[in-house]
Structure 1
């Protein structure tokens, strides 16, 4: 899909769910809790929130949990004392993910969940990317490029989080459709990071030196895996897929060289815009959809440059 079509689709999605009659006057301060600002994915959402909120004259207070759930709960408790009018929340992990939503609800503050769903304690709306079908597409592409058979491994994100669950389901579907593919190992990360991707891949290659396919459930993981494959001099034998459409990953793909060949680009900044619009709507007493999900776009060497130039 061409970038123009993607942006048109994102705009149409925003128009469908935007609070056309709502005013930003009821919302002057928003709290934004993110898991880890070292990750480009969360930074892109943050930029989407901050830039759009600035246009609306809304202050944004950002707290970074650095991937620690207890820290995030404490940060959100503090946010509740700072006079915020709405709360945009990305859980730092599956454990205790419901607590911040509950705290905000008890304070009568609208809650907008982004990317990760706090089980048992939903906010007023959930905004995220569709993870099952797009990860199915990524893994199908990896398998196709590897010739339809061979040994495959999955390096997961943080266990039990919404994207980890969805991306596992999609990839497992692709594997089940290809009887020549053998899933020989799976390991989980805590931070979805390149360092973890590198270390885990090195261990996997030691145990299974004839691996031909790797699915890293985030671009950071995939980039780390690609480095490990390069170090092992296996770049011409291993095909790697990632997920998210991080800036550095898109630049890598646009060069059309190396083992990392495919990802799924999410509309991260659009998520931030939609989160602010939804916060304004809920604060104004308007109805918003329980779930607002956008498609990720399969991205390879052929179309990566479009997203480098203009990330949705």
Structure 2
């Protein structure tokens, strides 16, 4: 509980820091138009970041042009080329996948446009800064929680996000730390998704339950995946046997946790809207020639039935 309290305070501090700069602070800086490239607006996580960017930018009189790659890297590269022709002054970029992720950063840099990466870091071609949630220790906490709830032993599966992306790699690292600390836990299967979606979570969850009917734990690397897997557990009538953990703090996931009526029992809530604000402020700072940290990594908050309602009422 003390750890959760500290993290709630950390989220509050991040939000305050991200919103400290006022419109007056940014008068005359020359940024009039920001390009925002997102992987998939069907995912609530990316929508929350979009809201943070667009609402804050609007308060400063900055236009935001948002493009949705719908999970396709080739589409995203084409969209970014188009953004550059529209005369954007800064580029906020969430790669649609690991393949070709470096290309949009390279294209923007060639035009002297500041690049702010969010959630995912293109390998070999970083932007001026990258902003993503603290994936490793937060995933460790989520997996430790579901292991504890399962009695510290039993079979476990992991349903990954998109292979090779920053959150997929780091969230596995954190969860594996928790598994390694508990010799009674057996990781019996892993499978990767393409879209981090509930449908994928449901389908993969069903297959894993058929292969391992005595399963006790599922970690879905995003809330959509976890909620899909939880539905598969319910459909199989195994609510009392299996606990499911997720990641992100999506609105629907938080509402589900607040009701506390499914096998999905724990997640890590990211400060998504505050991350969007921080991305805009970072773009402004870079455009002014100011230095920004290479990585800006806010905490995520371990969230379950007891504290989910506060984030339903006000998402960070």
**TM-score w.r.t. length of structure 2:** 0.95
Tell me the secondary structure at the aligned position of residue 294 of structure 1: coil
- The answer on whether the counterparts of 1:101 and 1:121 sit within 8 Å (CA) in structure 2 is yes
| 1:186-237 Cα distance to aligned partner (Å, 9 max, x none) | 0000000000000000000010001000000000000000100000000110
2:253 pairs with one of 228, 246, 249: 249
Which residue of structure 2 aligns with residue 301 of structure 1?
305
1:56 pairs with one of 48, 57, 60: 60
- The answer on whether the counterparts of 1:22 and 1:281 sit within 8 Å (CA) in structure 2 is no
Tell me the secondary structure at the aligned position of residue 98 of structure 2: coil
Which residue of structure 2 aligns with residue 275 of structure 1?
279
- The answer on whether the counterparts of 1:150 and 1:212 sit within 8 Å (CA) in structure 2 is yes
**Once the 2 structures are TM-superposed, how far is the Cα of residue 257 of structure 1 from its aligned partner?**
1.8
Which residue of structure 1 aligns with residue 140 of structure 2?
136
Tell me the secondary structure at the aligned position of residue 276 of structure 1: helix
**Once the 2 structures are TM-superposed, how far is the Cα of residue 5 of structure 1 from its aligned partner?**
2.4
- The answer on whether the counterparts of 2:143 and 2:179 sit within 8 Å (CA) in structure 1 is yes
Which residue of structure 2 aligns with residue 90 of structure 1?
94
Which residue of structure 2 aligns with residue 220 of structure 1?
224
| 1:10-36 Cα distance to aligned partner (Å, 9 max, x none) | 235437999996546310000000000
- The answer on whether the counterparts of 2:226 and 2:244 sit within 8 Å (CA) in structure 1 is yes
| 1:266-308 Cα distance to aligned partner (Å, 9 max, x none) | 0000000000001111111111111111000000000000000
In 2, distance between residues paired with 1:267 and 1:221?
19
Structure 1 residues 260 and 275 mapped into 2: Cα distance closer, same or farther (>3 Å)? same
Structure 1 residues 51 and 21 mapped into 2: Cα distance closer, same or farther (>3 Å)? closer
In 2, distance between residues paired with 1:26 and 1:48?
21
**Once the 2 structures are TM-superposed, how far is the Cα of residue 9 of structure 1 from its aligned partner?**
2.0
Whether 2:101 is the aligned partner of 1:107: answer no
Whether 2:173 is the aligned partner of 1:169: answer yes
Q: Within 5 A, what are the aligned runs for 1:75-86?
A: 75-86=79-90
Tell me the secondary structure at the aligned position of residue 243 of structure 1: coil
Gaps of at least 5 residues in structure 2 are: none
In 1, distance between residues paired with 2:149 and 2:207?
23
Gaps of at least 5 residues in structure 1 are: none
Tell me the secondary structure at the aligned position of residue 258 of structure 1: coil
| 1:236-281 Cα distance to aligned partner (Å, 9 max, x none) | 1000000000000000000122100000000000000000001111
- The answer on whether the counterparts of 2:29 and 2:287 sit within 8 Å (CA) in structure 1 is no
In 1, distance between residues paired with 2:23 and 2:58?
17
In 1, distance between residues paired with 2:194 and 2:22?
34
Structure 1 residues 311 and 251 mapped into 2: Cα distance closer, same or farther (>3 Å)? same
Which residue of structure 1 aligns with residue 187 of structure 2?
183
Which residue of structure 2 aligns with residue 36 of structure 1?
40
Instruction: Give the number of equivalent residue pairs.
Output: 312
2:269 pairs with one of 257, 265, 268: 265
Which residue of structure 2 aligns with residue 284 of structure 1?
288
Tell me the secondary structure at the aligned position of residue 102 of structure 1: helix
Structure 1 residues 288 and 309 mapped into 2: Cα distance closer, same or farther (>3 Å)? same
- The answer on whether the counterparts of 2:8 and 2:301 sit within 8 Å (CA) in structure 1 is no
Give RMSD over aligned pairs: 1.7
- The answer on whether the counterparts of 1:18 and 1:274 sit within 8 Å (CA) in structure 2 is no
